[in-house]
Amino acid sequence: MTLVAIAPPNFDVVLDLRYATPANFTGKPVYARAAAYLHPDAARHLTRAIGLAAALGLRFKIFDAFRPSEAQWALWNFRPDPDFLADPRRGSPHSRGVALDLTLIDATSGAELDMGTEFDAFTPHSYHGAIEVSAGAQRNRHLLLGLMSAAGWDFYMREWWHYQLFDSRRYPVLSDTVIAPGLMGAA
């Protein structure tokens, strides 16, 4: 299996790969290397979404993409919460290379649009359709949802930032060995 590297200049996105830093819910890096990859099918859908966002003066900031099964286990072992994390025994769309965690940014300033919560805020305020966040954040979430849906992505109702290909289970779960060098390293 060959995954596609998601990075400029081939993809007009900003990378803020949180699991390669301590700025994630575990408080420590999960990945030893900051890099984003997707299955070629998912990369094509991302290209479509990038074009749709660009027409509105927006870009995407990517927090996570392919997540090796080893990383899914590390996250699950830290916080086994099936409302916000896929049980690694079943496999995550991330571990199949067909999911993204992302937000919208202004293409000129680079400022993130207000989504009402931070990425990986494991709370009902993170749900799509949460009315406890501001009206502006609700609009921004709907905008993100519209762009991603129009580009062929499905969403996860409990995480405004998570999008995956429809029928993601038809793709195999992948380990860190599918990319060289891997993401996990000595982390």
User: Which are the catalytic amino acids?
Assistant: 159
3-state SS, residue 100? strand
- Tell whether the torsion through CA atoms of 168, 184, 20 and 37 is positive or negative: negative
Q: How far apart are CA 83 and CA 156, in angstroms?
A: 10
Question: What residues have CB less than 8 Å from 89, skipping those under 6 apart?
Answer: none
Amino acid type, 19: Y
Please give the helix or strand (H or E) that residue 139 lies within, else none: helix 135-150
Greatest pairwise CA separation for the chain in angstroms: 44
Tokens (6 digits) for 119: 């990425």
Q: How far apart are CA 20 and CA 22, in angstroms?
A: 7
What CA–CA distances, in Å, run from 117 to 50, 126, 140, 183? Answer: 23, 6, 12, 27
